[in-house]
Amino acid sequence: MKKEIKQTEIKELGEFGLIDRLTKNIKIKNESTVKGVGDDAAILHFGEKQIVVSSDLLTEGVHFNLMYVPLKHLGYKSVVVNLSDVCAMNATPKQIVVNIALSGKFSVEAVEELYSGIHLACEKYGVDLVGGDTTSSMTGLTISVTVIGEADKKDIILRGGAKANDLLCVTGDLGGAYMGLQLLERENEVFKVNEKMQPQLEGYDYILERQLKPEARIDIVSALYKLGIKPTSMIDISDGLSSEIHHLCKNSNLGCSVFEDKIPMDFQTKKMAEELNINPLVAALNGGEDYELLFTLPLSDYEKIKNDPDFSVIGHMTEASEGINLVTGAGSAIPLVAQGWNHGE
């Protein structure tokens, strides 16, 4: 009798467990591969510069809903989310490769609209579109963008360089993209019931833009250079603050204390959260798609950033034995749980 082999459902592992399992046996074969799987982008060494490479996949029905996401915005966003990974390595994006799979429901004009957003992003960030592939799909639209960037070896920043007592910092504000998504989802549900109802979006331009047309923080890379600062570790915030903090701690073998009342949020984020009866802190910690930068600095650099509105100090790194904790406004320390993407949820 043939022995039945147990099949593991993807949801049992979750996103990060699945990635760890698929990549644990990878062995680097080429000297030019400086850094492979495990950071925001791979690092390749060719001549004087080191090359960073990263890729992301966006799938209709999973990552975007064309009922309320304009194709031009989608094209722009598909580029930006990749550029953000290169920024997190303290590198400069230079080229992209775009692959798309699309079903018969899309006209030539629709695809041109998608690419108009891609070209707009390339123009804004000074990036070249150098190739790609197009194929048919049975299930809507899928976009895959690979970005290639460069940096001097001395400038590269990884996730694993933080030290105990380093300051934990974040750029911009958090939770806006998630609350923008909740607003769009709400109005889409109303539209399904009554197509004559006009969407109620007034007063929420900022969080809508955070969701539909995010920007990569390439300005932060140059700002840090001008300030004479090189973070000890860095990552972009795509899956939510809590998940990214866990990545930094895991890669640096450290713990962390994050202060609830230090996490920056925009007024519109808080207002929409109140309207939808959502805790805005949950949006900031677990919402994702903010594409801000999370990084660590030695205490000696505090004076350089303390008055800069682009930066917020939200906590500090600790010994691993102290764990990864959220310190509430009342002073209680509770374990910070990472809420990444899980297949099928």
User: Percent helix, strand and coil across the chain, each rounded to 5?
Assistant: 35, 25, 35
Q: Pick left, alpha or beta for residue 309 (phi over 0 → left; psi -120 to 50 → alpha; otherwise beta).
A: alpha
Determine the pLDDT at residue 37: 74
Determine the pLDDT at residue 18: 67
* CB atoms near residue 165 (< 10 Å): 13
pTM score > 0.85 for this model? yes
- CA atoms of 245 and 343, how far apart (whole Å): 21
Q: At 20, list the tokens.
A: 């760890």
In sign, the C-alpha dihedral spanning 284, 290, 292, 294 is positive
Sketch out the chain's domains with CATH numbers: 33-155 (3.30.1330.10), 167-335 (3.90.650.10)
Determine the pLDDT at residue 48: 80
Tens of pLDDT, residue by residue, the chain (345 residues): 556 777 778 678 776 776 787 677 778 766 777 887 778 777 877 778 889 999 999 999 999 999 999 999 999 999 999 999 999 999 999 998 999 999 989 888 999 999 999 999 999 999 988 888 888 898 899 999 999 999 999 999 999 999 999 999 999 999 999 999 999 999 988 887 777 667 778 899 999 999 999 999 999 999 999 999 999 999 999 999 999 999 999 999 999 999 999 999 999 999 999 999 999 999 999 999 999 999 999 999 999 999 999 999 999 999 999 999 999 989 999 999 987 544 333
Determine the pLDDT at residue 10: 66
Q: At 220, list the tokens.
A: 């932060």
- CA atoms of 148 and 217, how far apart (whole Å): 16
Give me the phi and psi of 264, to 5 degrees please: -75, 130
In eight-state DSSP terms, residue 258 is: E
- CA atoms of 288 and 243, how far apart (whole Å): 9
Determine the pLDDT at residue 341: 44
Strand order in the sheet with 92-102: 33-35, 42-46, 49-59, 141-151, 92-102, 128-136
Exposed, middle or buried: residue 265 (CB in 10 Å: 0-12, 13-18, 19+)? middle
List the beta bridge partners of residue 315. 168, 258
Determine the pLDDT at residue 3: 64
- Collapsing DSSP states into helix, strand and coil, what is residue 48? coil
Q: At 252, list the tokens.
A: 């640096």
Determine the Cα angle at 286 with ends 284 and 289, to 5°.
75
Q: At 328, list the tokens.
A: 């509430």
Which of 322, 155, 321, 149 is CA-nearest to residue 234?
155
In sign, the C-alpha dihedral spanning 115, 121, 123, 127 is negative
